[in-house]
Amino acid sequence: MIPNLRFGIVGTGSRGTHCFGALLKQRSDCIIQAVCDRNRTRAEFAASRFGAPSVYTDLEEMLLREPLDALIITTPDATHEECAIRALRHRLSVLIDKPLATTVAGCRHIIREAQLSGRVAMTGFNLRHAPLLTKLKQIVDEGVLGTVFLVENREFYENGRTYMARWNGQKADSGGLWIHKGCHDFDVFNWLLGFPRPRKVAAFSGMNVFRPDRLPFPTRDGVPPGPCCSQCPYASDGTCPDAVRYDDPEWGDAARQQDGYVKDSCMYNSDLSTHDNGVAVVEYENGARASHLECFVTGLTDRFYTVVGTLGQASLSLSGRTITVLKRWSHETVTYEIPEVTGGHAGADPGLVESFVQAVRSGTPDTSSCEQGLLAAAIGQAAELSREENRVVHLDELL
């Protein structure tokens, strides 16, 4: 009988708990041996939910004491590098949720350490496991579209507005949304195109809405909104349409008193260093081009893709179940349908966990290597640079 794999999870917030913890718990071939979060309340909640015998607030201590096979890293992006290096030095396999790290240098550091450790290190690019995108990749690889030279996607993400209410809105924590969020989409471009080397990036982005002078309601008697929804008079009386309400106990007063971390900072009246909408364009060495639009000021959650090749083009909406291919000369339309999916991110999350479990067992990742994590982070970093310095960035500067 194959022994159960013993997992640790570091970072028992939304992703660590609702995605990885929940999915590992359902499996009969894995156990969650230990969890770690610098916030004890959140760690204890996660441990009780998943029956994990051990709880830590310090990763090094967990790594020293626990007999683990693998670690899942779901802490804020700027801490991925440190967590991954520690785990690899303890010779554990790691799944690092995207982005691999917030800088190319950080990604390189992880790759070096993974090579020294000889363990599996994977980036959590779950979108590649969304059945609709897996089918799209198959259509591209079978040559149905001919040679692909143009890819476009537009992401509208209603809950993305909450990035403005927590660490995601701070570049120091997330690297900026072109890295934090865009890396998903840049990775899908790279993957669909077969990983050509990206050559140039240009990005335009900014804060059009979530700023102090764009409050969607008038203030009363000069009373400012914020500092967070739980203390804001415009949230408690229902005036603010963007008020965040959450009542999970792991995010309540007991947790808040330990580290001051809130996820309901005022989206309008906070010191944010990222964008609420933008467009980034990538050109590749083989001549292919890709463009990614992201918008967090919206009532819609979906990603729309168009992939154009010399023989035809394919399009899909990630919330749907069909891919439509239009043949270039005959104008024939072919529709591919996928079955109903379950699981987060259009059915992608269970596939990501399965691929990591298989990688740990076999000793080789079949998807989302750290080198590919670096490529997507590099495009994100170039997009951040392009926005800051108002110029086209050549990837040779970073790679």
Ligand X SMILES: NC(=O)c1ccc[n+]([C@@H]2O[C@H](COP(=O)([O-])OP(=O)(O)OC[C@H]3O[C@@H](n4cnc5c(N)ncnc54)[C@H](O)[C@@H]3O)[C@@H](O)[C@H]2O)c1
- Report the interface residues with ligand X, using CB under 6 A: 10-16, 36-39, 42, 59, 74-77, 79, 97-98, 124, 126, 180, 261, 345
Report the interhelical angle of 370-389 vs 104-117 (nearest 10°): 170
**Nearest distance from C-beta of residue 169 to ligand X, angstroms:** 12
CA–CA separation, 81 vs 20, rounded Å?
19
Q: For ligand X, which is the closer residue by CB, 20 or 268? A: 20
CA–CA separation, 383 vs 392, rounded Å?
9
Residue 95: CB partners within 8 Å, gap ≥ 6? 20, 70, 71, 72, 73, 122, 124, 352, 356
DSSP per-residue letters across 325-357? EEETTT--EEEEE-----SHHHHHHHHHHHHHH
CA–CA separation, 71 vs 76, rounded Å?
15
| Structure tokens belonging to residue 207 | 């804060």
Q: For ligand X, which is the closer residue by CB, 97 or 283? A: 97
**Nearest distance from C-beta of residue 230 to ligand X, angstroms:** 16
Q: For ligand X, which is the closer residue by CB, 325 or 383? A: 383
**Nearest distance from C-beta of residue 243 to ligand X, angstroms:** 19
**Nearest distance from C-beta of residue 177 to ligand X, angstroms:** 10
- 242-261 as b/e, with b when 16 or more CB fall inside 10 Å? bbbeeeeebbeeebbeeeee
Identify the burial level of 240 via C-beta atoms within 10 angstroms of its C-beta, where 0-12 means exposed, 13-18 middle and 19 or more buried: buried
Shortest Cβ contact with ligand X: which residue? 13
Q: For ligand X, which is the closer residue by CB, 80 or 313? A: 80
**Nearest distance from C-beta of residue 248 to ligand X, angstroms:** 10
Q: For ligand X, which is the closer residue by CB, 308 or 353? A: 353
- Residue 331, number of CB atoms within 10 A of its CB: 8
Q: For ligand X, which is the closer residue by CB, 148 or 244? A: 244
Specify whether the CB–CB gap between 16 and 72 falls below 8 A: yes
**Nearest distance from C-beta of residue 73 to ligand X, angstroms:** 8
Residues in the chain: 399
Q: For ligand X, which is the closer residue by CB, 284 or 296? A: 296
Specify whether the CB–CB gap between 254 and 115 falls below 8 A: no
Q: For ligand X, which is the closer residue by CB, 171 or 345? A: 345
**Nearest distance from C-beta of residue 308 to ligand X, angstroms:** 26
Q: For ligand X, which is the closer residue by CB, 183 or 295? A: 183
DSSP per-residue letters across 23-36? HHHH-SSEEEEEEE
Handedness of CA 332, 333, 335, 336 (dihedral sign): positive
| Structure tokens belonging to residue 225 | 């909104």
Q: For ligand X, which is the closer residue by CB, 11 or 347? A: 11
Q: For ligand X, which is the closer residue by CB, 239 or 258? A: 258
| Structure tokens belonging to residue 93 | 């396999």
DSSP per-residue letters across 121-180? EEEE-GGGGSHHHHHHHHHHHTTTT-SEEEEEEEEEEGGGGGGGGSGGG-HHHHS-HHHH
**Nearest distance from C-beta of residue 14 to ligand X, angstroms:** 4
**Nearest distance from C-beta of residue 2 to ligand X, angstroms:** 27
CA–CA separation, 18 vs 136, rounded Å?
27
**Nearest distance from C-beta of residue 351 to ligand X, angstroms:** 12
**Nearest distance from C-beta of residue 224 to ligand X, angstroms:** 25
Q: Which strand (E) or helix (H) includes residue 258?
A: helix 253-259
